[in-house]
Structure 1
Amino acid sequence: MARPTKERDPSQPEPTEAELLLLRVLWKNGPSSVRQVWEETGSKGSYTTVLKQFQVMHEKGLLARDDSAKIHVFSAAVPEQKVKRSLLGRLMTQMFEGSAAQLALGALSTRKVSAEERAEIRKLLDELDRKDGNA
């Protein structure tokens, strides 16, 4: 079976691991200053490193900046779910030959799955069956 290929959409930049760390803070806390995010990340690295990362992320379209006040406030310009779907899609294509089943089985085999997580998975599968008319 040929490996499915998916061209990356340049209008949807994929964040690096370091950028994801900063985006997670913004998704969790909402619009924030560089200092607030730097402090939230446990002051890892220097303040100026976070500032530079924010500038790069803004140029890439990952962040929006409100510079109407003295202190610039940044917010995520991309929704968390959109980024997760994009990264999962790339992982599924690159590592699991496009198979959602293999991705799910791989994820579920890496650690113990709680009863609550299993219930969520069953609920999702039931919803998918209903949408497909299989239930």
Structure 2
Amino acid sequence: MDNYNIKPTEGEMEILQVLWQKGNATVREVHEALNKKDSGYTTTLKLMQILHEKGMVDRDTTQKTHVYKALVSQDKTEKQLVNKMIDNVFNGSAARLVMQALGNHSASAEEIDEIKKYLDSLK
């Protein structure tokens, strides 16, 4: 799917994360992977149906149990959401986003090294 004006909700993003990890999955498999005590199976089913209606997931209905897979790529979805966040929350400043993220979460030494290497590659 090349329509990257997608706007998944938080719940839909959780489902997409499971599908990206598993590849293909039934509603039950996704629901069990989410392991949400406050959410029922029917809520997961409804969100997956909405994702299908939005064109973000495909559904194989040839079997009794429907199998879903993501149609949107994780990389492109993450990039779109980060760009939207940079524009809407950080007034277009990627640097402010990075500083806020690193200031609020402790990064491991390995993560900091990886970030430094990435920044060096941009020069």
Structure 2 length-normalised TM: 0.90
1:63 Cα deviation after fit: 0.8
**1:107 counterpart residue number:** 101
Structure 1 length-normalised TM: 0.83
SS at match of 1:75: strand
SS at match of 2:24: coil
1:43 Cα deviation after fit: 4.9
Unaligned stretches of 5+ in structure 1? 1-9, 130-135
Residue 70 of structure 1 pairs with residue 64 of structure 2: yes
Q: Find the aligned partners of 1:43 and 1:117 in 2 and give their Cα distance.
A: 29
- RMSD across aligned positions (CA): 1.4
Q: Are the equivalent residues in 1 in contact too, given 2:4–2:77 (CA < 8 A)?
A: no
Residue 12 of structure 1 pairs with residue 12 of structure 2: no
Q: How many residues align?
A: 120
**2:43 counterpart residue number:** 49
**2:83 counterpart residue number:** 89
Q: Are the equivalent residues in 2 in contact too, given 1:66–1:74 (CA < 8 A)?
A: yes
Q: Find the aligned partners of 2:53 and 2:91 in 1 and give their Cα distance.
A: 32
Q: Tell me which stretches of 4 or more aligned residues in structure 1 moved more than 6 Å.
A: none
Q: 1:95 to 1:43 in 2, by over 3 A?
A: closer
**1:133 counterpart residue number:** none
**2:19 counterpart residue number:** 26
Larger Rg: 1
Q: Find the aligned partners of 1:68 and 1:22 in 2 and give their Cα distance.
A: 22
